[in-house]
Structure 1
Amino acid sequence: MLPSRPRLLNNIVNNYNATEFYVDGNSIPLINFDVGPSWSGLLPISSAPNETRKLFFWFFPPGPEGSLDDLIFWTNGGPGCSSLEGLLQENGPFSWSYGQANATVNQWSWTNISSMLFVEQPVGTGFSQGTPNITNEDELAEQLIGFFQQFLEVFSELKGKNFYLTGESYAGTYVPYIASHIFANSSALDLKLKGFWVSDPSLSFDVVQEEIPAVSFVNKYEHVFSFNQSFLEFLNNRAVECNYADYFAKHVLYPPKGLLPLPGTSTEADPGCDLWDTVFDAALLVNPAFNIYRIFDTWPILWDVLGFPGSFPQTQVSPLYFDREDVKRAIHAPLDVDWTECSNIDVFVRGDYSLPPAFTVLPSVIEQSERAVIVHGLADFILIAEGTRIVIQNMTWNGLQGFQTPILNDTFIVDGMGALGNMHQERGLTYVEVDLSGHMVPQFSPKAAFQIAQWLLGFRESPSA
């Protein structure tokens, strides 16, 4: 029988090892309501007595309606972008998004479903401590699993819980490798990995997820970009020359007719075929507030307590929220760190040497997961949904390549809102596209994200209403 919620919380509150990490929910600076109990601070990535590398975490127990059996891990991407962005502006219990004068209660917080663990990783991200020394995703996974082991030694009440890995953007690379490492070393971690969620994920090469679909994306949203006809003609002609224009008609079929080829001579855009940057530069001329993360944004650029409200960092308030001394003290963060949303140093030494997960671990992780979810906002330009469709159709899992029937055959419906995109499920993989949402789906379409997360944990029969 499960312990009552007060008993579970009391166990953690009375846990001597956890005392130093306790955060008073009534004393978080500039938050004028009780967030409830939580725990945050730094923990090492190994038990070695001389370990200097530490990751910053913020753990929240479930709210009154949340499950006692489950734990969701969330990471942002970058690489090197802080998961405190996800906490404050996406799926944490309080929200302070772009343009808000004050923080508000997040009614679509994932803590209404489960416990949540936000971690700034890898080393070099946010408040984390130490010198980055990883060169690939396997090393990242090893360090994070080491952190999880230290976390469970402090918060032993969470041992044996159902575990879900979630994240967005470059976490589309992180999460499959982390999951693969856990599945391959099941005895190393006293958690039951059940599934994963990645949204607007980096799964393949940029030429696939940015270049091939860029001009098609412009044509779809022609009135948002507002390019003149001569420039549109230039883009469309260049797309033909670069083998982008008819790529979908030829290759993105249901079911696929074979492996999907790259459009050029390498995994990068051929000379003259970097059309994503061409579109971006032109979009900024038409709309200086153009936001690659949500293309509908226009002047004025909304202020952001984290200093990154659009395509570029823009500090309208100093210090940033998580760089305030009173905030650092409240959440046990190091005072000597100049916090920024995305790291100014390389968190991978000389870059990430791992192949994209679609070519390596992702298929097997889907096969081993009870539930596997890929979500994509349709108003995202930095990673484009049509590129994610290419990735899926080129990937073989559970005995077949790609989806066998078209994605557009199914409608994604959100409770009380109606149709809000497309959804498709085959052979253990769920794929959802969300209309009007930009790159950060839990931020830009929180109710839709909440509903999908409910399904991930098994609390709904379908992601769609």
Structure 2
Amino acid sequence: MSFWNWSFLLLVFVSVTWSDSNPITQQKLDQVSNLPGQSFDVAFAHYAGYVTVNKEFGRALFYWMTEATNDPSSKPLILWLEGGPGCSSLASAMVNGGPFHVNEDGKSVYLNPYSWNTVANMLFVESPVGVGYSYSNTSSDITNNGDKRTAADTLQFLLNWLERFPQYKGRDFYIAGQSYAGHYVPQLSQAIVRYNKENAGSPINLKGYMVGNALTDDHNDRVGLFQFMWTVGLISDQTYKKLNELCNRESFIFPSSECDKIIEIANQEMGGIDRYSIFTPPCPNNSVTKRFLKRWHNVGPIGQSYDPCSEEYTVIYFNLPEVQSALHVNNSIKWEFCSAAVYNNWKDSPISVLDVHQELMTYGLRIWIYSGNTDAVIPVTSTRQSIDALNLTTIGPWRAWYDDGQVGGWTQEYTGLTFVVVRGAGHQVPFHKPKQALNLVKSFLAGTSMAPFVDKVVESSP
């Protein structure tokens, strides 16, 4: 081989090696210039790509980060995790608090005026592997996910991602999520706190976390669900009594056919409503996201988030080749809103994370739990049962909070925890009540109480 050929190969090797180690180069490679179907300009940069979390097995998590719309260098960083287990945070960005939402044609996007990146830099991560665009070169990884490995992999993701985006090292950092992220968020927070104790100079400056309509404690979640279904008139008196009698703590340990039968009766009595939002009509063509059911959870499915027709538009959009190319997706991946393979093969899930919350309160983290009060999957009554089990000291009385003169919901403050109810919201608060959800995250980041009573309340039209 000639000298010039060797020189060329050396130049290519050096260039590739330098680009892999230089964070600015990697950021440029990950930057998204324009989304397909985007007919408008945006005033913020956004990035998408992969971060390897395990080289031996080839596990890589996909992320999408949208900078804050104004002065991003002064804004905190929020990591958003979606539940399931097995559902996509990228999907959540497109139907909840992300800046882009998909139009009905499934081929174009519009700007969300209530995006959370108006107040923070937003990092959406598809976790664990097998969810969305995230993958592993070891096929058995997809059927061996669980809470412990998810927390460990997501912590490793953060450490590696911060090497690529060093400007966020030491930045005020918060974690938020909903549904089964009621496990992910506190468990990841716990992993970070423990990592920081053992590693001086950690780049992760965790300030707090927030979870909504969150799976927290299997027993309390179930008791609260039965209470909610009966209170709002979804089930009969007789079924309510039987649910409490037959589906007790022992039924979590020893399978009970009697409990299964009364749960099926409750399902029949509720009818064809959308349990994620009991007062809104479901999508008439509800064919995209599969409904999942595991015994340890609740009556009714918990696998997916709220199931409006926008899910179908999102699935179409993220499977477009031009979209995957724009987001730097490896090869061609069939993208799903929720992964049945991940959900149906989940390996470990503690019956409660109340002990994790209790541990984290001792570190002075800002901890908020919120709940939409029209959700019949993990309803407000379930969340109140779990908070009550923590035996916290009340420091702020139960009261209404306001949004534009209207009651936005209710709140109560405890030592170490703030609880917020969002009026009229279902399982996904940012989807059903985007403006109120943005007010919620503003107050959370500021560490201030939800807006109190106003002098003049505007009455609703009859």
- Letter of the 1:175 counterpart: V
1:167/1:268 CA distance change after superposition, 3 Å: farther
2:41 pairs with one of 27, 30, 34: 34
1:391/1:96 CA distance change after superposition, 3 Å: same
Residue 366 of structure 2: aligned partner: 371
Is 1:294 matched with 2:277?
Answer: yes
Residue 65 of structure 2: aligned partner: 59
**Residue 266 of structure 1, CA deviation:** 4.3
**Residue 141 of structure 1, CA deviation:** 1.6
- Letter of the 1:351 counterpart: K
SS in 2 for 1:387: helix
- Letter of the 2:131 counterpart: T
1:218 pairs with one of 222, 229, 232: 229
Is the 8 Å Cα contact of residues 392 and 403 (structure 1) preserved in structure 2?
no
Distance 1:172 1:309 in 2: 13
Residue 173 of structure 1: aligned partner: 183
Query: Please, which moves more after superposition, 231-240 or 107-116?
Result: 231-240
Q: Which runs of 5+ in 1 are unaligned?
A: 1-12, 226-230, 244-261, 396-400
Residue 462 of structure 1: aligned partner: 449
1:76 pairs with one of 82, 105, 113: 82
1:345 pairs with one of 320, 341, 346: 341
- Letter of the 1:180 counterpart: Q
Is the 8 Å Cα contact of residues 37 and 60 (structure 1) preserved in structure 2?
yes
Figure out how many residues of one structure are paired with residues of the other and give that number: 409
The CA deviation string for residues 204-234 of structure 1, in whole angstroms up to 9 with x for no partner, is 11x4313x23443234323xx4xxxxx7243
- Letter of the 2:170 counterpart: G
1:318/1:218 CA distance change after superposition, 3 Å: closer
Is the 8 Å Cα contact of residues 317 and 323 (structure 2) preserved in structure 1?
yes
SS in 2 for 1:31: coil
**Residue 276 of structure 1, CA deviation:** 5.0
Query: Please, which moves more after superposition, 188-197 or 340-349?
Result: 340-349
SS in 1 for 2:217: coil
Distance 2:311 2:444 in 1: 36
Is the 8 Å Cα contact of residues 425 and 433 (structure 2) preserved in structure 1?
yes
Query: Please, which moves more after superposition, 55-64 or 328-337?
Result: 328-337
1:417/1:276 CA distance change after superposition, 3 Å: farther
2:221 pairs with one of 204, 209, 217: 209
The CA deviation string for residues 52-83 of structure 1, in whole angstroms up to 9 with x for no partner, is 11000001111116662411000100011000
SS in 2 for 1:185: helix
Is the 8 Å Cα contact of residues 62 and 68 (structure 1) preserved in structure 2?
no
Distance 1:82 1:355 in 2: 23
Counterparts of residues 173-322 of structure 1 (less than 5 Å): 173-186=183-196, 187=199, 189-205=202-218, 207-210=219-222, 212-222=223-233, 225=234, 232-239=236-243, 241-242=245-246, 264=250, 266=252, 270-274=256-260, 275-284=262-271, 288=272, 290-298=273-281, 301=284, 320-322=316-318
SS in 1 for 2:236: helix
**Residue 156 of structure 1, CA deviation:** 1.2
Distance 1:303 1:234 in 2: 31
**Percentage identity across aligned positions?**
25
Residue 137 of structure 1: aligned partner: 147
Distance 2:369 2:90 in 1: 22
Is the 8 Å Cα contact of residues 85 and 306 (structure 1) preserved in structure 2?
no
Query: Please, which moves more after superposition, 116-125 or 332-341?
Result: 332-341
Is the 8 Å Cα contact of residues 95 and 310 (structure 2) preserved in structure 1?
no
Is the 8 Å Cα contact of residues 43 and 151 (structure 1) preserved in structure 2?
yes
Distance 2:130 2:236 in 1: 41
2:127 pairs with one of 121, 128, 150: 121
1:268/1:393 CA distance change after superposition, 3 Å: farther
Q: Which runs of 5+ in 2 are unaligned?
A: 1-21, 291-303, 453-462
**Residue 369 of structure 1, CA deviation:** 3.9
| TM-score (normalizing by structure 2) | 0.79
**Residue 139 of structure 1, CA deviation:** 2.3
Counterparts of residues 16-31 of structure 1 (less than 5 Å): 16-24=25-33, 27-31=34-38
